[in-house]
Amino acid sequence: MTQTPLRALALFGAAAAVLAAPAAAQPAAANLEAGKARAQAVCAACHGANGVSIADTIPNLAGQRVGYLESQLRAFKAGTRKAASMNAIAAQLAPADITDVAAFFGSLAPGNLAAKSEQLPNLVKTRVTFPEGYRSTFRMYQTVNRADINQVRYLYANPVAWQAAREGRPLPAGSVLLLEQWAAKLDAERKPVVGAGGFYTPDRLVAYAVMSSGAGWGNDFPEMLRNGDWNYAVFNPDSTLRAGVNQADCLACHKPLDKINYLFSNEPLLAAAKR
């Protein structure tokens, strides 16, 4: 496109001003090896060792614009972009880490074949087993409506966790917490039917989510993800293990709760156990 004389002069003036100005401080150069090590230790569990994700619901990062990756990681770190697992991971990244990780993923060819992360087998494998007969031995300590997905949820704790909560101690190895996920019964207008206590009336069991701890169970996870010795699992309504669930998302989401047993329901558990 041909520039007008005024446009050309404006560009010339802007360039001259930049040349005349003192040199601005340049950002520190990225360390690709450090970025690779950081990315493969944690990010690869979901985004793949070569930046090609392990699932359709997770974005590929290989070949993504470096500036975009940096800005998104900073937003996750600051909490201005919301995603529980990414907020937890980014909160642990130093500014140099963000620069290095973004540069590493940006340096990869988008067409790379996905290489499996060394951490992936440990994150897919879980030591959690379904606690058969839990309703006769566990205690229910909380009921929660999930209006966003029309569910009602019931939370249970096993005797080990219950006794520790009653005594105000950290939950020890052997603690098991179970969450029942029920689809709410809907009325003619497709709204949840509300029953006693303002809670939705359960209609159909969707799944169980279980978190359990054992001595040394967290040793196979990278420190950035590790939740003490907790492992996580999802079970189908028939109590069979739901295969292929990546614990990375659970671990990252619960990671910031390290001072409260890694539990979102820590306060309700303590309150119920001390009644």
Q: Give the domain CATH number at 84.
A: 1.10.760.10
Three-state DSSP at 17 gives helix
Same domain, yes or no: 83 and 141: no
Alpha-carbon distance 60 to 237, whole Å?
A: 32
Q: Is residue 126 part of a domain?
A: no
What pLDDT shows up at residue 18? Answer: 37
The answer as to whether 220 is a domain residue is yes
Q: Which two tokens mark 240?
A: 């069979």
- Strand-by-strand arrangement of the 230-235 sheet: 139-146, 151-157, 176-184, 202-213, 230-235
Asked if residue 24 is part of any domain, the answer here is no
- Residue 96, domain member (yes or no): yes
Q: What pLDDT does residue 55 have?
A: 72
Confirm whether 50 is domain-assigned: yes
- Say what the pLDDT of residue 26 is: 41
H/E stretch holding 24: none
* 124: pLDDT strictly greater than 60: yes
Alpha helices, DSSP H, located in 108-190: 120-124, 134-137, 159-166
Domain of residue 151: give its range.
Answer: 134-273
Residue 198: pLDDT over 90: yes
CA dist list (Å): 120 to 61, 123, 162, 171: 17, 5, 32, 27
Please tell me whether residues 103 and 193 are part of one structural domain.
no
Over 80: is that where the pLDDT of 275 sits?
Answer: yes
pLDDT confidence band for 23 (50 / 70 / 90): very low
Region 223-249: mean pLDDT is 94
Of the residues 118, 152, 169, the one at which a domain ends = 118
* 76 and 144 together in one domain: no
Percent of the chain past pLDDT 90, that is, above it, reads 68
Q: What is the CATH number of the domain that holds 243?
A: 3.50.70.20
Rounded Cα distance between 236 and 194, Å, is 25
Pair 168, 243 in one domain: yes
Q: Is residue 73 part of a domain?
A: yes
- Identify whether 8 is part of a domain: no
Give the separation between CA 11 and CA 139, rounded to whole angstroms.
73
Which one of 86, 118, 150 terminates a domain? 118
Domain count, the chain: 2
Asked if 204 and 138 sit in the same domain, the reply is: yes
In this structure, the answer to whether residues 197 and 100 fall within a common structural domain is no
pLDDT higher than threshold 80 for residue 44: yes
